[in-house]
Amino acid sequence: MAPRPEVEALSRSFVLSGLPRGELEQVAALMRPRAYRRGEVVFHQRDPGEALHVVRQGRVKIVLLSESGEEAVLGILGPGDVFGEMALLDGGPRSATIVALEPVETATLRRDDLLRLLRRSPAAVDGLLAALARKIRQAREEVGDLMFLGQQAHLAKKLLELAEAHGRPVGDRRVEIGIPLTQEELAGMIGATRTRVNTLLGLYEARGIIATRRRRIVILKPEALQGRIAP
């Protein structure tokens, strides 16, 4: 039987979250291990979509590249997260580039195996439709953040999200974001310039809200960041 972490991760996948437990275990048993070095590209934007990945170990970043080579970081994924689902549905090209931030291990599910499952399982199709609706709502919320939150509020919200997803406690109410982040990467996440992010981080640090340690950020006053999130 497949290891429990893969089954749990698949149950949170927006493609497969509607499957009964028994079918999730069958799907997980078909998955194959992959390993990537720090800085290695898992797949490039516009590559053919052939497999879904579950992160077993390490972290990856989701990157969009412009024609001029500029990079926007859409998010960071860690153990238990799933990526590569969209291309599995239509066989289209990858919509983003995935890069390993550290040594990474994944388990992969091929598109052909997923399509066979969807053809034989009404529960999988129902789950897929419900999960797609949730994904659309999430995308609308992210667009709303870009449109209606100022950059200071958007950065505050992003730091809190990163702390929730990748944080580790380092004292009373203090949380360190457990991944190294450049100012360029943070800027790409909120649609700002590196200079603007540098200014805002300096403002938060001067007010004792955060501390920076070799590309790592420690949130000293989460409530102060929360107070800066306002439409």
For 70-90, what is each residue's pLDDT tens digit?
Answer: 777 888 888 888 888 776 777
| Residue 57: pLDDT over 70 | yes
Q: What is the pLDDT of residue 2?
A: 44
Q: What is the pLDDT of residue 80?
A: 81
Please, are residues 163 and 174 in contact by the beta-carbon 8 Å criterion?
no
% of the chain surpassing 70 pLDDT: 87
CA 175 → CA 51, 81, 172, 210, distances in Å? 34, 21, 9, 9
| Residue 145: pLDDT over 60 | no
Q: What is the pTM of this model?
A: 0.67
Write down the mean pLDDT value for the chain: 81
| Residue 144: pLDDT over 80 | no
Range with the poorest average pLDDT among 97-111, 117-131, 201-215? 117-131
Task: In whole angstroms, give the CA distance from residue 17 to residue 14.
Answer: 6
Q: What is the pLDDT of residue 1?
A: 45
What average pLDDT does the segment 30-38 reach? Answer: 92
Question: Which helix (H) or strand (E) element contains residue 32?
Answer: strand 32-36
Q: What is the pLDDT of residue 60?
A: 93
What average pLDDT does the segment 41-53 reach? Answer: 89
